[in-house]
Structure 1
Amino acid sequence: MNINYLTPLLVVIICNVCYHLISKSISGTTNTFIALFITYGVACLISAFGFLVTSKNYFITEVTKVNVSNVLLGLVVVGIEGGYILMYRSGWEISKGSLIVNMCVAIILLIVGILVFRDGITIKKIIGVALCIIGIFFINK
């Protein structure tokens, strides 16, 4: 495996761990949506800087390439992040909440991948799904 393949994986893992630690640390007295407003304000500034550094095109040229998927992604990201904040505030343990969510998402995406995107199904995938379901059961016991 080369570095171009592993680096994004490591970035996602490190940022995901930090994401959950930070989400769990957000004050319970802070309104969830003002917290997300500040979060996305910072993300907007960093994204704008990243665009300026990496693009030779004008902003309007790049905006014309955007489609409805970008808007939908914005909607679901707010749901994910707001959902995690609310999960942690309602008492979910950091060691259980994300794990259960990610196992459920993995199972659903495996099914969607097979039905919609024609991903292959293997005995290893079936065993993996079974282990996830067993894991969800044991984690909640």
Structure 2
Amino acid sequence: MFYFSAGLAIIGAVLYQYFVKLVPGSINPVVSVIGQYVAALVLGICILPLFPVQGGLWLQVRQLNWIQLALAVSVVLIELGFLLMYRAGWNLSTGNLVTGVVINVLLAGLGVALLGERLQLINVAGVALCLAGVALISYRPA
């Protein structure tokens, strides 16, 4: 659960950053967020049995599309992943740092592969240093 929860948070955060960039500029940002959370609410209701509870504006709306569903999936993975990470024993300081570095490395790759962004050699060296840092930060002696 320790690494699974971090992986869940990393996947969700990478998806979120990518799809939020695809939201059309013409749509009101609040309406977009509402669309994301309506979809997240539906997903949350669907997964609720897996986590049992103990005790008991039209023009803008017409602009919603598949991106809000993709963002909703991303948001659910982020929230669930971080919650499970901390419950599994990750510290706030290292858990978020580790996931943040990995997220940014993956987003750099996503930017290059899907958005045509370019990385210089110095950027690649920085990525390597970040990955080395993640290994050192997340090291847990046996």
| 1:90 aligned residue | 88
Provide the rounded CA distance (Å) in 1 between the counterparts of 2:116 and 2:74: 24
Whether the 8 Å CA contact 2:86–2:92 is kept in 1: the answer is: yes
Provide the rounded CA distance (Å) in 1 between the counterparts of 2:114 and 2:73: 22
Provide the rounded CA distance (Å) in 1 between the counterparts of 2:101 and 2:95: 10
Provide the rounded CA distance (Å) in 2 between the counterparts of 1:92 and 1:103: 15
| 2:106 aligned residue | 108
* Alignment size in residue pairs: 87
Whether the 8 Å CA contact 2:98–2:138 is kept in 1: the answer is: no
Structure 2: which 5+ runs fail to align? 1-29, 35-56
| TM-score, scaled to structure 1 | 0.57
| TM-score, scaled to structure 2 | 0.57
Percent identity of equivalent pairs: 30
Higher relative contact order (CA 8 A, sep 6+): 2
| 1:137 aligned residue | 135
Provide the rounded CA distance (Å) in 2 between the counterparts of 1:140 and 1:97: 8
Q: Which runs of 4+ in 1 moved over 3 A?
A: none
Write out per-residue CA displacement over residues 96-131 of structure 1, whole angstroms, 9 at most, x where no aligned residue: 111111111111111111122111110221121011
Structure 1: which 5+ runs fail to align? 1-46, 52-58
